[in-house]
Structure 1
Amino acid sequence: MTPETLVIIPAKNEQDSVHLVAGAVVSDLGLPVVVVDDASNDETADAARRAGATVLSLRLGLGAWGAMQAGIRYALSRGYRRCVTMDADGQHPVQSLPVVLEPVLRGRADAAIGSCTSRGSPLRQVAWGLFRGIGGLGVGDLTSGFRAYNRRAMELLAGPRATLLDYQDLGVLFLLRGSGLRIVETPIAMACRLSGHSRIFNTWPSVGKYMLHSSILAMSKSVRGSRQTDKAGEDQ
Structure 2
Amino acid sequence: MITLKILIIIPAYNEEKNIKQVVDNLIHNYPQYDYVIINDCSSDNTKKILEKNNYNHIDLPVNLGIGGGVQTGYKYALEKGYDIAIQMDGDGQHDPKFFSDIIDSIINGEADIVIGSRFIEKDGFQSTKIRRIGINFLSNLIKIVCGKRVKDVTSGYRAVNRKFIEIYAKEYAQDYPEPEAIVNAAMHNARILEYPVIMSERLGGESSISHFKSVYYMIKVSLAIILYRITFNKRRI
CA displacement 1:161-180 (0-9 Å, x = unmatched): 42x54222111000001001
**Residues 38 and 224 (structure 1 numbering): CA distance in 2 closer, same or farther, change over 3 Å?**
closer
1:140 lines up with 2:141 in the alignment: no
Q: What residue in structure 1 maps to residue 189 of structure 2?
A: 180
Q: Which protein has the larger Cα radius of gyration, Structure 1 or Structure 2?
A: 1
Q: What residue in structure 1 maps to residue 235 of structure 2?
A: none
What is the rounded CA distance, in whole Å, between the counterparts of 1:11 and 1:165 in structure 2? 15
Q: What residue in structure 1 maps to residue 169 of structure 2?
A: 158
| 8 Å Cα contact 2:41-2:60 kept in structure 1 | yes
Q: What is the identity, as a one-letter code, of the residue corresponding to 1:134? A: L
Q: TM-score, normalised by structure 1?
A: 0.86
Q: What residue in structure 1 maps to residue 223 of structure 2?
A: 216
What is the rounded CA distance, in whole Å, between the counterparts of 2:207 and 2:117 in structure 1? 17
**Residues 223 and 65 (structure 1 numbering): CA distance in 2 closer, same or farther, change over 3 Å?**
closer
| 8 Å Cα contact 1:112-1:147 kept in structure 2 | yes
**Residues 223 and 32 (structure 1 numbering): CA distance in 2 closer, same or farther, change over 3 Å?**
closer
1:131 lines up with 2:133 in the alignment: no
Q: What is the identity, as a one-letter code, of the residue corresponding to 1:211? A: M
**Residues 215 and 167 (structure 1 numbering): CA distance in 2 closer, same or farther, change over 3 Å?**
same
Cα distance, 1:158 vs structure 2: 0.9
Which fold has the larger relative contact order, with Cα–Cα distance below 8 Å and residues 6 or more apart in sequence?
A: 2
What is the rounded CA distance, in whole Å, between the counterparts of 1:3 and 1:53 in structure 2? 22
**Residues 189 and 58 (structure 1 numbering): CA distance in 2 closer, same or farther, change over 3 Å?**
same
| 8 Å Cα contact 1:3-1:32 kept in structure 2 | no
Q: What residue in structure 2 maps to residue 28 of structure 1?
A: 29
| 8 Å Cα contact 1:23-1:52 kept in structure 2 | no
| 8 Å Cα contact 2:4-2:84 kept in structure 1 | no
Q: What residue in structure 2 maps to residue 53 of structure 1?
A: 55
Cα distance, 1:52 vs structure 2: 5.5
What is the rounded CA distance, in whole Å, between the counterparts of 1:85 and 1:220 in structure 2? 25
| 8 Å Cα contact 1:145-1:168 kept in structure 2 | no
| 8 Å Cα contact 1:165-1:171 kept in structure 2 | no
**Residues 196 and 181 (structure 1 numbering): CA distance in 2 closer, same or farther, change over 3 Å?**
same
Cα distance, 1:133 vs structure 2: 2.2
What is the rounded CA distance, in whole Å, between the counterparts of 1:8 and 1:47 in structure 2? 17
Structure 1: gaps spanning 5 or more residues = 226-236
Q: What is the identity, as a one-letter code, of the residue corresponding to 1:202? A: S
| 8 Å Cα contact 1:34-1:55 kept in structure 2 | yes
1:202 lines up with 2:210 in the alignment: yes
Q: What is the identity, as a one-letter code, of the residue corresponding to 2:40? A: D
Task: Look up the SS of the partner of 1:158 in the other structure.
Answer: helix
What is the rounded CA distance, in whole Å, between the counterparts of 2:174 and 2:45 in structure 1? 28
Q: What is the identity, as a one-letter code, of the residue corresponding to 1:97? A: F
Deviates more, 1:90-99 or 1:48-57: 48-57
| 8 Å Cα contact 1:22-1:52 kept in structure 2 | no
| 8 Å Cα contact 1:23-1:53 kept in structure 2 | no
Task: Look up the SS of the partner of 2:27 in the other structure.
Answer: helix
Number of aligned residues: 221
CA RMSD of aligned residues (A): 2.2
CA displacement 1:106-127 (0-9 Å, x = unmatched): 2211111110024132212221
**Residues 124 and 84 (structure 1 numbering): CA distance in 2 closer, same or farther, change over 3 Å?**
same
What is the rounded CA distance, in whole Å, between the counterparts of 2:80 and 2:116 in structure 1? 25
What is the rounded CA distance, in whole Å, between the counterparts of 2:207 and 2:185 in structure 1? 25
Q: What residue in structure 2 maps to residue 230 of structure 1?
A: none
What is the rounded CA distance, in whole Å, between the counterparts of 1:76 and 1:224 in structure 2? 26
